[in-house]
Amino acid sequence: MKRIAIDMDDTIADFTSKHLRVYNEVFNESLTVEDLNGKKLWHARPHKAKEILDLLADPEFFRDLEVIEGSQEIIALLNEQYEVYIATAAMDIPHSFSAKYEWLRENFPFLSEQRFVFCGNKTIVNADYLIDDSPRHFVRFPGQGILFTAHHNLDQTGYPRFNSWEEAKEYFF
Amino acid sequence: MKRIAIDMDDTIADFTSKHLRVYNEVFNESLTVEDLNGKKLWHARPHKAKEILDLLADPEFFRDLEVIEGSQEIIALLNEQYEVYIATAAMDIPHSFSAKYEWLRENFPFLSEQRFVFCGNKTIVNADYLIDDSPRHFVRFPGQGILFTAHHNLDQTGYPRFNSWEEAKEYFF
């Protein structure tokens, strides 16, 4: 049975929308994803990069992210014919561990927690496919990297791309 | 550069000694590792298995485990000529994430947190070697499993074995 590893933030969990919302509340702005011009928030506002990253230090930040449209239904289907693992670069924000775990248990209850991988460098992940919004994880990944479209990766080429979870269904079935 | 994945509990962190000590305090006994007859504590006292596993629910349980003799020095040497990753089955005890992370940062400060993997099933770990006290993790591991001797695995055969970290040094250099 082939194995698919799937990232969390901006792949199944809508990280950017919450980060923007909290940023706007704290700094009294009304930035939208279009205003980011394809950059991550901390690159779009470099003079506030530290404060922007500090917003993630709240241990509950990752607990209530919205689920990316279609991910639950399609991953439930994939899970019947593939070994689905969730692989998230959680070591960048170690206080997020519990919130990420609880989020996965709540929103993807059909996945065993034995299939969760909280890691740093994803070259350690032994899978046939990795679906991720960050192409940096594909560089030494031994399988096939597939980019999940996010505002910050629209210019990336060189990898297959899913613009939606519907496209993942078409690719794997 | 070849990659070595290394388990935590009873491989670099002395889990069993603390579990026995807390058990003895709570149940007013004086069990030693010899009394376990090669079994894990919850198998040696099956009528108290639930209470024994509940001792691990303390989020700080894993924070102050003793370091297994020689592991720091030898892993520091290995880290110069191999890519060393730490791979722990943390999903069995999700409340242990933060304590395990902090323990690693304190006791193995020379390892990048990008090399930490908190997982369930270790078949997801892409490495050339896995040093672990639990042979169950070797079953579908794609590389070479190497058993680290613990009281509960003395009867296991079929894998190379390290009785100490000194033996790991001899094997890899």
Walk along chain A (173 residues) in steps of 10 and give the mean pLDDT of each run.
97 98 97 94 95 95 98 98 97 93 98 97 96 95 96 95 98 97
Token digits of residue A95: 């206080």
pLDDT of residue A159: 96
- Average pLDDT (B153-160) is 95
pLDDT number for residue B14: 98
The 10s digit of each residue's pLDDT in B57-96 is 999 999 999 999 999 999 999 999 999 999 999 998 999 9
Active site residues of B: 7, 9
Q: What is the pLDDT of residues B127-145, one digit of tens each?
A: 999 999 999 999 999 899 9
The total of other beta-carbon atoms located within 10 Å of residue A152's CB is 20
Percentages helix, strand, coil for chain A (3-state, rounded to 5) are 50, 15, 35
pTM above 0.90, yes or no: yes
Closest CA–CA distance from residue B63 to any residue of chain A (Å): 15
Picking from B85, B112, B120, the nearest residue to A112 by CB comes out as B120
pLDDT band per the 50, 70, 90 thresholds, residue B116 = very high
Contacts (Cβ under 8 Å, ≥6 apart) of A124: B3, B5, B85, B87, B115, B117, B125, B126, B127
Interface pTM, i.e. ipTM: 0.95
Quote the pLDDT of residue A75.
Answer: 98
* Spatial CA neighbour of A22 closest among A63, A46, A52, A47: A52
Whole-number Å distance between alpha carbons of A8 and A5 = 10
Measure A61 CA to nearest chain B CA, in Å: 16
The pLDDT of residue B61 is 97
Q: Which of A63, A114, A115 to mutate to test the interface with B (most CBs of B within 10 A)?
A: A114
Q: Name the token pair of A2.
A: 């082939």
Interface contact flag, B126 A123, Cβ < 8 Å? yes
Look at the block and give the residue holding tokens 């350690």: A124
